[in-house]
Chain A
């Protein structure tokens, strides 16, 4: 399991690198090489590191460990076929981690990032909608049961396409340079991660790699079902290509617009799942 975890982290970082390269190519820039994110992580691991004078020390350090910890937990739950509800919970708790990153440093930029993370709470609800839509159809929230259900009746992607779109939007709101990435947009330097440098940033990048892998794997497991290992990696690549196109072609929204659009999407999704619950 540990080798798979390491592989997931590095493959996730590679996917982020591909995402970045693709955005650059779509916008006719050369862009960094696709392994740039891996290089970043390695480079940051060996840079000099200390804790800012204004920070709340214990929180500043431990929030990095918590970030890695929760996504490792999510990875194990996903691979061992645990409850989908736990992955939903971890996804929502990632918000607290962002909040912790931002607030612990004492920097106003980090703080703005953290506050933006709290006010965009509506971005989590579509995930709950897709979770409940899946629960309505399969009658269970255990990932192993969901895989078994899809082996019998075909991928859920074709049964409940709107729920799949909801999860896709959730993943979209978490990738870098997405239209909804208000927590780390450039007018607040790097948002919540502004003050985390050196080893702390390396930890954060590790978490990002693992997070991307887990989110994409969740999408594939829940909506497509069991695939051969290479098939999974290939599907992930396809998803990343589509995400890169969306990110490259859409402007980054202002915080107010981002929250408004996410709230509207949430409203539509809630109506959809109510419809499914009553007539489905």
Chain B
């Protein structure tokens, strides 16, 4: 299907890699940009904990080195998701997606708590397993059609990509984008999250939304 997200209105050519902006990818790109700026600009929340059994509250303050690391990871994650939103190449999309996966592990893993690190490790294993269908799917696209460019793939002249490959791509993105669930499992309650954890769920959601467009186009 050509132009599932509206017809592209702007092309940026880097050699044979063509980046294109359609209304759909542009709006996703802008959201990634806005949230990346927010991550740069805002200080972390100071989380309130209720002390059970007593009538008291405590606030958790986040240490400076930990905050710096998580902020760096969140910014890198934002940049990677921006790249994944606008790229016009299946393989580049896969690379950016796995970069998002690594950054998500990083955002979650910086917290010095055994539970959180366990969750981060398990999520990392899933993300690493997710690269197999992801890159495999991209490689089979290249092998069956001879191109990786989304613009060329959306034209009907090329042989059709098998449905299994589309399934591979979606499966890979689901593997890379599992972070919010792991974050919900342990991270949220134990560590101050905003605005870094939001980057986790935002990037996962964005790559999920983009892969729908990619799958519709190839």
**Chains A and B touch (C-beta atoms under 8 A apart):** yes
Contact residues in A for B42 (Cβ distance below 8 Å)? 56-59, 62, 104
Residues of B in contact with A, size category = 35 or more
* B212–A128 touching, CB < 8 Å: yes
Q: Does A108 count as interface, using CB distance less than 8 angstroms? A: yes
Known: A59-B198, A103-B198, A118-B183. 12 other contacts (CB 8 A): A56-B42, A70-B31, A82-B6, A85-B24, A95-B205, A96-B35, A99-B198, A104-B45, A115-B188, A118-B184, A121-B180, A135-B1
Shortest A141–chain B CB gap in Å is 5
B residues within 8 A CB of A103? 45, 188, 193-195, 197-198
Task: Judge if A235 is at the interface, Cβ distance under 8 Å.
Answer: no
Given contacts A83-B5, A107-B48, contact A89 B27 (CB under 8 A): yes
> Knowing A85-B213, A115-B184 touch, does A55 contact B41 (C-beta < 8 A)?
no
Which chain B residues in 127-142 approach chain A with CB under 8 Å?
Answer: none
- Interface status of B181 (Cβ within 8 A of chain A): yes
| Chain B contacts for A77, CB-based, 8 A | 23
Please determine whether A85 and B4 come into contact, CB atoms closer than 8 angstroms: yes
CA distance A108 to B49 in the complex (A): 7
The bracket for how many chain A residues form the interface is 35 or more
Inter-chain residue pair count (beta carbon < 8 A)? 128
Whether the Cβ atoms of B41 and A83 lie closer than 8 Å is no
Chain A nearest Cβ from B14, distance in angstroms: 26
Given contacts A58-B41, A86-B23, A100-B194, contact A108 B205 (CB under 8 A): no
What's the Cα separation between A56 and B188 when bound, in Å? 15
Q: Which residues of B contact A (CB under 8 A)?
A: 1, 4-6, 23-24, 27-28, 31, 34-35, 38, 41-50, 59, 180-181, 183-184, 188-189, 192-195, 197-198, 201-202, 205, 208-209, 212-213, 216
Query: Do A62 and B50 touch (CB < 8 A)?
Result: no
For residue B216, which residues in chain A have a CB less than 8 angstroms away from its CB? 135
- Residues of A within 8 Å of B205, CB to CB, are 92-93, 95-96
11 residue pairs of the A-B complex, CB under 8 angstroms, read: A54-B46, A56-B44, A70-B31, A85-B5, A88-B209, A103-B195, A103-B198, A106-B45, A106-B47, A106-B194, A111-B188
Give A contacts to B, CB under 8 Å: 53-59, 62, 66, 70, 73, 77, 82-83, 85-86, 88-90, 92-93, 95-96, 99-100, 103-108, 111, 114-115, 118-119, 121, 128, 135, 139-142
Interface of A is mostly: helix
Min CB gap B13→A, angstroms: 24
In the A-B complex, the 10 residue pairs with the closest CB atoms: A58-B42, A103-B194, A106-B45, A56-B45, A83-B6, A54-B46, A59-B42, A56-B194, A59-B195, A104-B194
How distant is A88 from chain B, measured CB to nearest CB, in Å?
Answer: 8
A57-B43, A85-B5, A103-B194 as given contacts; A73 in contact with B27, CB under 8 Å:
yes
> Would B198 and A100 count as touching, CB distance under 8 A?
yes
B residues less than 8 Å from A100 (CB atoms):
194-195, 198
B194 touches A89 (CB 8 A): no
Taken together as a complex, chains A and B put the C-alpha atoms of A55 and B35 apart, in Å, by 17
CB of B27 within 8 A of CB of A86, answer: yes
Minimum Cβ distance to chain B for residue A53 (Å): 7
A119 touching B184, Cβ below 8 Å: yes
- Collect the chain B residues with CB atoms within 8 Å of residue A114's CB: 188
Tell me which residues across on chain B come within 8 A of A66, comparing CB atoms: 31, 34
**Quick check: B195 and A118 within 8 Å, CB to CB?**
no
Q: Which residue of B lies closest to A62 (CB)?
A: B38
